[in-house]
Copies of this chain bind each other. A is one copy, B any other.
Amino acid sequence: MDNICDEHYWENMLHYSEEFDSWGLDEPFSTYYDSSSPDGTQSSSPASKNIVSERNRRKKLNERLFALRAVVPNISKMDKASIIKDAIDYIQELHDQERRIQSEISELESGNVKNNLVFDFDREMPALTRLKKKRVDHNYDSGSTRISPIEVLELRVSYMGEKTVVVSLTCSKRTDTMVKLCQVFESLKLRIITANITAFSGRLLKTVFVEADEEEKDHLRIKIENAIAALNDPESPMSI
């Protein structure tokens, strides 16, 4: 009967959006178990002192694991092992991407900086494409506005406390992308505290502070994803 939580553990731990890092070497008490047993016996027990210590250790490890899951995109399974595995794959993927882009940079700045003013866009694309899956639509527009769906590069939905959920969305800066993003978030009828869009180095970064509880976090994320998908696909059954 003392084995409550169990599965609620992960749901309860959803409060940790980012890692606070405040407890790297600080006091081992953030929301942690105090050294008081629920039966009244304080930490005077020689053996029960270890219990709470072990409990805190487990909790710490789970928090770390959850924080790791937070920084890795495209996490499907919530398995502990799967989380670590996805993190490994993601790091290697970033390594490859970095190497590729680095070589491309050196090629660009050494070779054809001066010569071809008509920039060959195709030569840069292999590095800029987000590798991975997701059919890469090749309708990049060179001047003329064409169908340019929202290409989401990253979507983070995290709870910051104080009934505030922060939505951080990064996508490629294409024609009308900013307008579409506004449409998406308007359609969701959220309690927006403040919103913001930043254009930076070919990307659009939208940050929205939404008034919501932590339980709505995942649901909100799915709603956003669906809204974007619906807007990208003109054939989908829009509900709005």
Segment with Cβ contacts to B, from A1-9, A39-47, A89-97, A232-240: A89-97
- Residue ID in chain B nearest A19 by CB atoms: B88
Q: How far is the CA of A82 from the CA of B194 in the complex (A)?
A: 28
A157 to chain B, nearest CB (A): 13
Give A73 Cβ to nearest chain B Cβ, in Å: 10
> Smallest Cβ distance from A131 to chain B, in angstroms?
9
Given contacts A94-B98, A108-B109, contact A200 B103 (CB under 8 A): yes
Is there contact, CB below 8 Å, between A173 and B121? yes
The listed residue (B166, B196, B199) touching A121 by CB distance below 8 A is B199
Q: In the complex, what residues of B have CB within 8 A of residue A55's CB?
A: none
Chain A residues touching B, range:
35 or more
A90 to B94, CA, bound (A): 11
Given A113-B108, A124-B105, A124-B109, answer yes or no on A91-B88 (Cβ-Cβ < 8 Å).
no
**For A65, what are the chain B residues with a Cβ–Cβ distance below 8 Å?**
84
As a 0/1 sequence over residues 131 to 144 of chain A, the CB contacts with chain B under 8 angstroms (1 = contact) are 00000010000010
Q: Closest 5 CB pairs between A and B?
A: A103-B201, A64-B84, A112-B119, A121-B199, A94-B94
- 19 other contacts beyond A19-B85, A71-B92, A178-B200, with CB at 8 A cut-off? A19-B88, A22-B211, A64-B81, A64-B84, A64-B85, A64-B88, A67-B84, A67-B85, A67-B88, A87-B91, A90-B91, A101-B101, A102-B202, A106-B202, A109-B124, A112-B119, A121-B173, A125-B199, A197-B198
- 30 A-B residue pairs with Cβ-Cβ distance under 8 Å, sorted by A, are A18-B193, A21-B211, A57-B81, A61-B81, A61-B84, A67-B88, A68-B84, A68-B88, A71-B88, A72-B91, A94-B95, A94-B98, A97-B98, A98-B98, A98-B101, A102-B128, A102-B202, A104-B105, A105-B127, A105-B128, A106-B202, A109-B124, A113-B117, A113-B137, A121-B199, A125-B201, A166-B194, A196-B207, A197-B198, A198-B198
List residues of chain A with CB under 8 Å of any chain B CB: 18-19, 21-22, 24, 57, 60-61, 64-65, 67-68, 71-72, 80-81, 84-85, 87-88, 90-92, 94-95, 97-99, 101-106, 108-109, 111-113, 116-119, 121, 124-125, 127-128, 137, 143, 161-163, 166, 168, 173, 178, 191, 193-194, 196-203, 207, 211
